[in-house]
Structure 1
Amino acid sequence: MPGAGTDHTRPTLEGGPVVVLVEPQLGENIGMAARAMANFGLAEMRLVRPRDRWLNQKTRAAAAGAEFILDGARLYGSLREAIADLQFTYATTARERGQGKDVVGPAEAGSAMRARAAQGQRIGVIFGRERTGLENDDISLADAILTYPVNPAYASLNLSQAVLLAGYAWMSAADAPLPFERKQKWGPATREMVLSFFDYLEDQLEARGFFRPPHKRPVMSRNLRNIFHRVGLSEQDVRTLRGMVVRLVEGPREPQTKKRRGPKQPPKGYKPPDA
């Protein structure tokens, strides 16, 4: 079922690096990887020797609306075949493999992938098995290693988490805008409105002995006003604050009396049953 952030009326981002999953064992992990890809505009999934019957109802449920990636996934008998048409590939691993390859983090990889894509190159990111990750022979086929700054005592990531971080690296390298921003619902309050509220508030505080000793009132008043100035009050903020103080000073409003309703009238055209 699509989540609260899914909106099929908006354009879908596509492109980005190819995601290559080597011998994935759980359909749910493949589905969640597809969901992570869709989150960040990655469109092409390739599977190397996945477990039989990997595409099932659990896989689709885990994809949470990204079934189009699963339906378009391509299967290969070897990693070499899966990356044959790509110009540059990253192998993901949390362990040093002693292969003398460049090792980059997500920020550097994201920028590099964007630069290569702008030149028309096809890029791939290779992810290993859930339990053991990529083997050394797999990594030997890649151009560079992509790894993440994780807790060294607990560096193993779920497959979909690893895909998610790679997708985020790709998306963030483009300075993509956030999906929404703060909307200003009310305009800022005028100085007259704010100062009138200050006068009312300070008069009520004075009446209740707040400004003590009296000679400290100017300093206390300035401190109080500066608290509200730092907030950046809107017109509605001032109305709400003033109404709140009024209720504290004057006490609760009189309870509203409920209007008594007459007997419920039968619907038009209703005929009572025969006695």
Structure 2
Amino acid sequence: MSSGTNRVELAKADADGAGPAVILIEPQMGENIGTCARAMLNCGLTDLRLVNPRDGWPNEKAVSASAGATQVLDRVRVFTSTEEAIADLQKVYSTAARVRGMVKPIVTPREAAGEMRAHWQAGRRIGVIFGPERTGLTNDDIVLSDTMISVPLNPGFSSLNLAQAVLLVAYEWWMEGVEVEERYLHTGQSRPCTKGELQNLFEHLEGELDQTGFYTHPDKKPSMVRNVRNTLQRAHMTEQEVRTFHGIIAALTGRKKQRVSSQDD
């Protein structure tokens, strides 16, 4: 992806339905079509094409299995051949578990996503074809594609159902177009505490520990203080948690009870 491309704009475009077409060759069960539609919409894809669906189209079982992905199902187009389904596309990828006696570039879903983004940004229409649930794509279908996608899974058991295969490819496409925080702290209604608030907590705790005679060996006190502080630092406390911790210290040391008693007097 070029450095000048706005990934937020790409994600917005994806959410509006841009991106590669998903072509299902002779899908068998309506439920499988529905779960594929669900996987597609999870990743912002809406162009679903069916080639000779076994149980016909439309299919009520697909609707119930889609979990509300009607934005995809309402746009489904049905074709009588793979050639017709890909006729308007300029770059086509096929999915297969193994090479079948032909010379063909093979990429992982992640590599394919990067390539597809480049094609898409260049204004090319792209698509990915998926074979029937039980047999996969035939050589006649694979030969119509420019590149094969192969998912590196457990060599002893690499079988995927149709929706899983669609989701893997669609997810990598989506992730190639969005900025995602790989890790973050959810703080609810509170906010992360400031270093000043945390320092105040350190001093409160250490002062009370001094009062109770916790530091029995003065020479070990500096290292003990550092250990306790480091423990609290790792907690990534919120402002509310710091206040709660102050209350816990006060309750354990009797300071809170003393304040209540003085107010009653």
TM-score category (smaller protein): 0.7 to 0.9
- SS of the equivalent of 1:237 reads helix
Which of the two has higher C-alpha Rg? Answer: 1
In structure 1, what residue type is equivalent to 2:66? A
The residue aligned with 1:186 is 191
Q: Which residue of 2 aligns with 1:126?
A: 129
C-alpha distance after superposition, 1:92-130 (max 9, x if no partner): 011121210000111211111111112221111000011
The alpha-carbon deviation at position 251 of structure 1 amounts to 9.8
The answer for the alignment partner of 2:106 in structure 1 is 103
CA distance in 1: counterparts of 2:99 and 2:144, whole angstroms: 16
Q: Which shows bigger deviation, 215-224 or 23-32? A: 215-224
**Residue from 57, 60, 64 that aligns with 1:61:** 64
Q: Are 2:15 and 2:45, in contact at CA under 8 Å, matched by a contact in 1?
A: no
Aligned to 1:146: 149
Distance 2:217 2:185 in 1: 43
CA–CA distance in 1 between the matches of 2:89 and 2:194? 58
Change (3 A) 1:29 1:176: farther
SS of residue matched to 1:52: coil
Gaps of 5+ in 2: 1-13, 258-265
| CA-CA distance at 1:175 after TM superposition | 3.3
Which residue of 151, 167, 170 maps to 1:167?
170
For the Cα contact (< 8 Å) 2:96–2:137, is it kept in 1? Answer: yes
Give the aligned length. 241
Over the matched positions of the two proteins, sequence identity in percent amounts to 46
Separation of aligned partners in 2, 1:116 and 1:195: 53
Summarize deviations over 1:15-43 as a string: whole Å, max 9, x none. Answer: 11111001111111100000111111111
Is the CA contact (8 Å cut-off) linking 1:189 and 1:238 kept in structure 2?
no
- How big is the alpha-carbon RMSD for the aligned residues of Structure 1 and Structure 2? 2.5
Evaluate the alpha carbon distance shift between residue 190 and residue 122 of structure 1 in structure 2; reply closer, same or farther with a 3 A threshold: closer
2:115 to 112, 115, 134: 112
| Contact 1:127/1:133 (<8 A) preserved | yes
Counterpart in the other structure of 2:44: 41
Does 2:201 match 1:197? Answer: yes
| Residues 1:31 and 2:34 are matched in the alignment | yes
**Residue in 2 that maps onto 1:72:** 75
Aligned residue for 2:231, secondary structure, equals helix
Shift of 1:135: 1.2
Q: Which residue of structure 2 lines up, in the alignment, with residue 210 of structure 1?
A: 214
- Cross-structure match for 1:4: none
Q: TM-score, normalised by structure 1?
A: 0.79
* 1:233 Cα deviation after fit: 4.3
Does the CA contact (< 8 Å) of 1:190 and 1:235 recur in 2?
no
Runs of 5+ consecutive residues of structure 1 not aligned to the other structure: 1-10, 254-275
Residue 242 of structure 1 corresponds to which residue in structure 2?
A: 246
User: Which piece of structure 1 moves more, 234-243 or 34-43?
Assistant: 234-243
SS at match of 1:124: strand
Q: Any conservation in 1 of the 2:193–2:242 contact (CA below 8 Å)?
A: no
Deviation sequence 1:125-180 (CA, Å, 0-9, x none): 000011111111211111110111211111111101111111112112223456x9
